[in-house]
Amino acid sequence: MEIKKNIFRKLPPRLEGLGEIAANLWWSWHPAARMIFKMIDRQTWKESRHNPVKMLSDLPSELLESAAEDTDYLRRYNVVLSKFRKEIKEKECRILNDIVDPEIHSIAYFSAEYGLHHSIPFYAGGLGFLAGDFIKACSDLSVPLTAVGFMYPEGYFLQRIREDGWQENIDQILDRDASSIIRVLGDDGQQLTVKVPLIEPPLYVAVWKIDVGRVPLYLMDTDIEINDPWNRTISAHLYSGDIEQRLRQEIVLGIGGSEVLETLGIKRSILHLNEGHPAFALLERIRDQVQAGKTYEEALQQVKTTTVFTTHTPVPAGHDVFPFHLMEKYFNSYWPALGLDHDRFLKLGIHPNDPNAGFNMTAFALRMSGYCNAVSKRHAEVTRQMWQSLWPDLPQDKVPIDYVTNGVHVPKWIEPRLELLFNKYLYPNWLDDHDNPFIWEMIDEIPDDELWKTHYWLKIKLIDAIRERSRQRWTNNQVSASIVLAGGALLDPSVLTIGFARRFATYKRADLIFYDIERLKRLLNDRWRPIQIIFAGKAHPADDPGKRILQKVFNATRDPAMAGRIAFLENYGEQFAQYMVHGVDVWLNNPLPPMEACGTSGMKAALNGVPHLSILDGWWCEGFNGKNGWAFGLEEIEGNRNQSDAEAIYNILENEVIPKYYKVSADGIRRDWVRIMKESIKSNAPKFSAIRMVREYIKKFYVNALKNV
Ligand SMILES: *Cc1c(COP(=O)(O)O)cnc(C)c1O
């Protein structure tokens, strides 16, 4: 494995450990580790956008030399470095201990996207953050897991909003060497390249690696010289809009990814497919077994009983379906190696309700995986209904699709100041055991004004960051004043602030709150108790309806009748997600039920004392308890439900949220509001944490699947 020699050569010997820490994403969820970079020079840290590798490469050597002489600095450095080394070396899994020898067994986790940190833009939205949070929690719990995905050299696009409010997509090329990504080297000392088997014309991937704490994540890059130009761009972007290129992406992910693990000698006792995109990995596992002498049926049985498939979307367009002629083109030399013929092979991906539509990746994965799950209780009900035709002999409630409700990685999403506050009032080491609900009862010990002051400070930090961005846009980009206003220049920290930030997929209905524009204006313009709303999110480049909703929202922000109290933040990503979920007062969520499989941004907010105002869909059906936020939309409504849902939101705002927020007790403290904040934290944080989720995957699936290895 190559260490970033060019960057770390200049480290003084006393501080060599900084290179070790910067090269492992562990720093991204340990505030103390980030602090030892920030302490060297705040400005370079800020300019690197909180990326230690970039920072170390930009930092003048004198500053490193002087840090190496500073005893206070060295003390902190030593604490962090020893903690890092101890944790990374600790290999054994506390939960899987009895049945797993990590040297022998390993779980291979495949996902098309990973949301890890904004310096590594390999995500489009929730699915990616789920995968990123999942592997971080696996690292914390020492689960013997290896993750596989794509190196997207052009990442997800940069979003710019034109003067007319239309989203433009600007490609940006990632500097692969300026982040915590390392080249995997082959025996010849060159970067390892692997040929994707049985696919013509030949296709190669270069292999990269990110160390995510104890979990290695291998990334495949098709942008190498040996590939022809069309092949080179396979990994350029997430989710190609071109169907054939999309198929080729999924071939590389599933089949290429398996070959990479094989080449590296990594065992794959269990295969875990995060969504249908990597499902071709199943074929490689079967092919291995057939080559070893098993019949197709025997091989399938073995593969099935050791495969976990997690489905994430109830939106039909979210399931990839490939035309048969393309499947034939790419797999005609493949199916004989499985012991199958043309018809039997294509049947693996047929949806019984629509057999002529093509090869459906979700139908395929559901058929071939012994452990299938949805990502919330509600989503499991919807998924069983959607896919019942695959199990025609079973009643709907017996369809073998279980669920594990998603969770978020608490050490990553908790704001460091809140973490300090919790350190003071919860048990010491609460973070090591944070899926234990009893620990969170102690939240009541925090004095109301301390919690409120911390929150208010975070709101100011958010609004400052937004204004600073607006100022830069104004100064550097020569945009009109109205674009600057739209960016949030008039936001006011004393005003009740609602956050709405996620992908601009149409079913998420970002424009719902504009349904009755007069009623909204009254809320925004109330002289004594106004509200303000901050929007952010990207529409998929091929999603014009999504872009139209974005345009509508964006243009509303510029209407003087909205009083500058609505803002749209450009280019939403992990960094602003952090500011938003820490700093707004209420998190709004109003997708069209039952389209939200789970949703996770509301969990991130709830954990930070930002209560959820949400339609009852996804995780909120399990999360809402009457005291920890607000819910609406339980009734089944035929046809267009926008009106009733919008009215429900206005009613909740007018009758509950606004009066509670603006009520201040005689001693000057917002007691009622802080009570909801506390309830939000203690009821949601343990239950919707990623370590609760990983433990559930272990108990429900991994433990059983390992018995079949
Ligand atoms: C958590 C997160 C998401 C997912 O949000 P949902 O509410 O689940 O749609 C999307 N984007 C970013 C940047 C996130 O951090």
> Residue 495 is part of a domain; what is its CATH number?
3.40.50.2000
User: Per residue in 14-26, pLDDT tens?
Assistant: 999 999 999 999 9
CA–centroid distance, 118 to ligand 1, in Å, is: 13
Whether 180 contacts 33, CB under 8 Å: no
Quick one: 346 and 256 in the same domain?
A: yes
**Is residue 418, in this structure, part of any structural domain at all?**
no
**Is residue 431, in this structure, part of any structural domain at all?**
no
Q: Among 87-101, 112-126, 254-268, whose mean pLDDT is lowest? A: 87-101
The residue contributing the CA closest to ligand 1 atom 3 is 126
Nearest of 584, 618, 587, 616 to residue 601 by alpha carbon: 587
Quick one: 524 and 665 in the same domain?
A: yes
Residue 239: its pLDDT value, please?
84
Number of domains the chain contains:
3
Ligand 1 and 599: CB distance under 6 A: yes
Q: Average of pLDDT values for 444-462?
A: 97
Q: Is residue 513 scored above 80 in pLDDT? A: yes
Whether 406 contacts 342, CB under 8 Å: no
Residue 7: its pLDDT value, please?
64
Q: Average of pLDDT values for 211-240?
A: 93
The residue contributing the CA closest to ligand 1 atom 7 is 601
CA–centroid distance, 149 to ligand 1, in Å, is: 19
Q: Is residue 619 scored above 80 in pLDDT? A: yes
Which of 114, 379, 601, 603 has most ligand 1 atoms within 8 Å of its beta carbon, as the pocket-test mutant?
A: 601
- Mind spelling out the 3-state secondary structure of 356-372? CCCEEHHHHHHHHCCEE
CA–centroid distance, 602 to ligand 1, in Å, is: 8
Q: How confident is the model at residue 100 (pLDDT cuts 50, 70, 90)?
A: low
User: Per residue in 176-203, pLDDT tens?
Assistant: 888 899 999 999 999 999 999 877 778 9
**Is residue 427, in this structure, part of any structural domain at all?**
no
**Is residue 199, in this structure, part of any structural domain at all?**
yes
Q: Average of pLDDT values for 394-398?
A: 94
Residue 4: its pLDDT value, please?
58
Quick one: 182 and 312 in the same domain?
A: yes
**Is residue 58, in this structure, part of any structural domain at all?**
yes
Q: Domain boundary at 89, 104, 137, which? A: 89
Quick one: 236 and 385 in the same domain?
A: yes
Whole-angstrom Cα distance, residue 393 to residue 391? 6
Whole-angstrom Cα distance, residue 362 to residue 352? 12
**Is residue 234, in this structure, part of any structural domain at all?**
yes
Quick one: 342 and 457 in the same domain?
A: no
Q: Which residues of 359-394 are buried (b: 16+ CB within 10 A; e: fewer)?
A: bbbbbbbbbbbbbbbbbbebbbbbbbebbbebbeee
- With tokens 């602030």, the residue in question is 497
User: Per residue in 399-420, pLDDT tens?
Assistant: 999 999 999 999 999 999 999 9
Q: What percent of the chain has pLDDT over 70?
A: 97
Q: Is residue 29 scored above 80 in pLDDT? A: yes
Q: Average of pLDDT values for 669-691?
A: 97
Running DSSP on this structure, what letter comes out for residue 593? Answer: T
Q: Is residue 614 scored above 50 in pLDDT? A: yes
* Amino acid in position 439: I
Q: Is residue 704 scored above 70 in pLDDT? A: yes
- With tokens 């409504």, the residue in question is 637
Nearest of 437, 428, 371, 436 to residue 625 by alpha carbon: 437
Q: Domain boundary at 89, 123, 143, which? A: 89
Structure tokens at 177: 């060497």
Which of 571, 600, 613, 614 has most ligand 1 atoms within 8 Å of its beta carbon, as the pocket-test mutant?
A: 600
Whole-angstrom Cα distance, residue 617 to residue 515? 20
Angle separating helix axes 361-368 and 296-304, nearest 10 degrees: 90
- Mind spelling out the 3-state secondary structure of 314-338? CCHHHCCEECHHHHHHHHCCCHHHH
Quick one: 473 and 399 in the same domain?
A: no
Q: Is residue 471 scored above 80 in pLDDT? A: yes
373: left (phi over 0), alpha (psi -120 to 50) or beta: beta
Q: Among 329-343, 469-483, 546-560, whose mean pLDDT is lowest? A: 469-483
Quick one: 297 and 369 in the same domain?
A: yes
3-state secondary structure of 561: helix
Residue 32: its pLDDT value, please?
94
Q: What percent of the chain has pLDDT over 90?
A: 85
Residue 344: its pLDDT value, please?
97
Q: How confident is the model at residue 91 (pLDDT cuts 50, 70, 90)?
A: low
Q: Is residue 318 scored above 90 in pLDDT? A: no
- Cα-only R_g, the chain: 25
**Is residue 429, in this structure, part of any structural domain at all?**
no
Structure tokens at 696: 């559930």
Strand partners, 193: 206
Q: Average of pLDDT values for 653-663?
A: 98
Q: How confident is the model at residue 1 (pLDDT cuts 50, 70, 90)?
A: very low
| 454: containing domain | 437-688
CA–centroid distance, 139 to ligand 1, in Å, is: 21
Q: Is residue 155 scored above 90 in pLDDT? A: no
User: pTM, whole model, 2 decimals?
Assistant: 0.96
User: Residue 12: is it exposed, middle or buried by C-beta count within 10 angstroms (0-12/13-18/19+)?
Assistant: middle
Task: Output phi, psi for 614, to 5 deg.
Answer: -145, 150
Running DSSP on this structure, what letter comes out for residue 198? Answer: T
Structure tokens at 324: 């048969």
Residue 94: its pLDDT value, please?
60
Quick one: 317 and 175 in the same domain?
A: yes
Q: Domain boundary at 89, 123, 158, which? A: 89
H and E: helices and strands count for the chain: 33, 20
Residue 95: its pLDDT value, please?
62
Q: Average of pLDDT values for 441-464?
A: 97
**Is residue 432, in this structure, part of any structural domain at all?**
no
Quick one: 649 and 698 in the same domain?
A: no
Q: Is residue 494 scored above 90 in pLDDT? A: yes
Q: Is residue 90 scored above 90 in pLDDT? A: no
Handedness of CA 685, 689, 693, 695 (dihedral sign): negative
Count the residues in the chain: 709
Quick one: 600 and 659 in the same domain?
A: yes
Q: Is residue 2 scored above 60 in pLDDT? A: no
The residue contributing the CA closest to ligand 1 atom 10 is 125
User: Per residue in 348-357, pLDDT tens?
Assistant: 999 999 999 9
Running DSSP on this structure, what letter comes out for residue 375? Answer: S
Q: Among 53-67, 81-95, 237-251, 401-415, whose mean pLDDT is lowest? A: 81-95
Nearest of 281, 310, 308, 312 to residue 370 by alpha carbon: 308
Quick one: 479 and 546 in the same domain?
A: yes
Ligand 1 and 125: CB distance under 6 A: yes
Task: Output phi, psi for 377, to 5 deg.
Answer: -60, -50
Average of per-residue pLDDT values in the chain: 93
Quick one: 64 and 171 in the same domain?
A: no
Peptide bond into 541 cis (omega under 30): no
